[in-house]
Amino acid sequence: MCDPNKNIYLPYLATVDEVIDETPDVRTLRLVFQDEQVRDNFSFRAGQFAEYSAFGAGESTFCIASSPTRSGYIECCFRGVGRVTEALRRLEPGDTMGVRGPYGNSFPIEQFFGKNLVFVAGGIALPPLRTLIWNCLDWRDKFGEITIVYGARTEADLVYKRELAEWQQRSDVRLVKTVDPGGNGSEWDGKVGFVPTILEEAAPGAENAIALVCGPPVMIKFTLPVLEKLGFGDEAIYTTLENRMKCGLGKCGRCNVGNVYVCKDGPVFTARQVKAMPQEF
């Protein structure tokens, strides 16, 4: 949406290229922009989000889950919980949907050059970090050690299962995957325990490191103290916040947490910024 004279609420049209069921209720859609100019020029940074629409149902807000380093397509990943997400789930390859974006701020990836990265995610909150993970892996030599601690309630609830397998294979990534107690099947080859506990066990070093955390509020609540214990300062911990959004561009007045607009000042925040916010998210 670079033309200032355009209707800022008008979406780009995108074709659903591929539908991937990550879990029984979480789906990835790979999208290709229909307009050639948009296809060639659309660019974004890891952490940004878009407003995805199923025409007739409305728009919904998700991060752009693919890496900015991959061209020709973007991906979104979501759970069917409401009218719009359920309509998006009814889309098949070849169908048209709308995309408005990219919106929001992004991970300051340049500030992470030369540092060790520790990604901590839970359940369906992996996508906002996955974009950054692939961005970093595509620029692997710019970063130090990369550790990924990821867990879900059960094996079935893990998203990006194929990529987890890929990351497990790589020698330049340390993947620690876990499921909640009772969530493991007989063939589970990962850890068993809640993410904060497993993170503490894995004890990634905080020296010259950045932690990137994304998960449900209860996971964040117990993960931040673990990171602090491991020696991560508030400025070295990043997270993404989610809030009910509509316009995605700072006008409809809905997504604010205190005086912070998640769609404009976020969705990427440091732990210090999150702690300074009033607790209304």
Partner 1 sequence: MQKQIASENFAALLQALIDAGTRVVGPKRVAGTLLYEPLTAPDELVLDELPRRSVKEAFFPVCEDLLTYEKQGQEVQVQDVDPARFPDTVLVGVRPCDAAAIPVLDAVFSWDYKDQFFLERRARTTIVGLACTTADDACFCTAVGLAPDEPRGADLLLTPLVGGGYLAESHSEKGEALLQTHADLFSEPGIDQPLGLAEPQTTPFDLKKIKAWLDEHFEDQAWDGIATRCVGCGACAFVCPACHCFDIVDEGTEKSGKRRKFWDACGFWKFTHHASGHNPRDFQPKRYRNRIMHKFKYYDDKFGQTLCTGCGRCVRLCPVGIDIAGVLEEIEKKAND
Partner 2 sequence: MTTETIYNAVGEAIRIEAGRILSDGTVTAVVGYAAARRNGSAQPVVITKPDDAARLIFSAACVNNLAVYLTKAKKELPREGRIGIVVKGCDLKALVGLLGESQLKREELYIIGVPCAGVLGSTLQPSVELDAESIADKCRECDDRMPQGSDFVPLVELPEQPALDKKYAAEIARLEALTPAERWAYWQQQFSKCIKCYACRQVCPFCFCEQCLCDRNKPQMVEGTPRPAGNTAWHIVRAMHLAGRCAGCAECERVCPMDIPLNLLNRKMARELKELFQSEAGFEVREKGPLATFSETDDESFIK
CA 107 – CA 216 distance, rounded (Å)? 19
Chosen from partner 2, partner 1, none, partner binding at 244 (C-beta under 5 to 8 Å by type):
partner 1
Number of amino acids touching partner 2 (CB under 8 A): 4
**Residue number with CB closer to partner 2 (60 or 66):** 60
Burial zone of 261 (CB within 10 Å; 0-12 exposed, 13-18 middle, 19+ buried): buried
**Residue number with CB closer to partner 2 (81 or 218):** 81
**Residue number with CB closer to partner 1 (170 or 251):** 251
**Residue number with CB closer to partner 2 (58 or 250):** 58
Identify the residue among 10, 40, 72, 82 touching partner 2 (CB under 8 A): 82
* Residue 123: DSSP 8-state: G
CA 46 – CA 134 distance, rounded (Å)? 9
List the one residue out of 87, 67, 90, 63 whose CA is nearest residue 77.
63
CA 88 – CA 82 distance, rounded (Å)? 10
Which residues, numbered 59-98, are part of the site for partner 1 (CB under 8 A)?
59, 81-82, 85, 87, 94-98
The token pair that represents 227 in the structure block: 């990171």
Asked whether position 244 contacts partner 2 by CB under 8 A, the answer is no
The token pair that represents 29 in the structure block: 């859609």
Asked whether position 254 contacts partner 2 by CB under 8 A, the answer is no
| Stretch (H or E) spanning 79 | strand 74-79
Number of amino acids touching partner 1 (CB under 8 A): 47
Q: Are 31 and 100 in contact (CB under 8 A)?
A: no
Identify the residue among 83, 90, 272, 275 touching partner 2 (CB under 8 A): 83
Give the angle 33-38-41 at the CA atoms, nearest 5°.
Answer: 125
Asked whether position 244 contacts partner 1 by CB under 8 A, the answer is yes
Expressed in percent and rounded to 5, the helix, strand and coil fractions of the chain are 30, 30, 45
Identify the residue among 86, 138, 172, 201 touching partner 2 (CB under 8 A): 86
Asked whether position 55 contacts partner 1 by CB under 8 A, the answer is yes
Single-letter amino acid, residue 107: F
At what angle are helices 217-230 and 195-202 packed, to 10 degrees? 20
Asked whether position 72 contacts partner 2 by CB under 8 A, the answer is no
The distance of closest approach from Cβ of residue 262 to partner 1 in the complex, given in angstroms and rounded to an integer, is: 11
| Stretch (H or E) spanning 58 | strand 58-63
**Residue number with CB closer to partner 2 (83 or 244):** 83
Residues near partner 1 (CB under 8 A) are: 1, 4-11, 13, 15, 53, 55-59, 81-82, 85, 87, 94-98, 217, 242-244, 246-247, 249-254, 256-259, 261, 264, 278, 280-281
Residues near partner 2 (CB under 8 A) are: 58, 82-83, 86
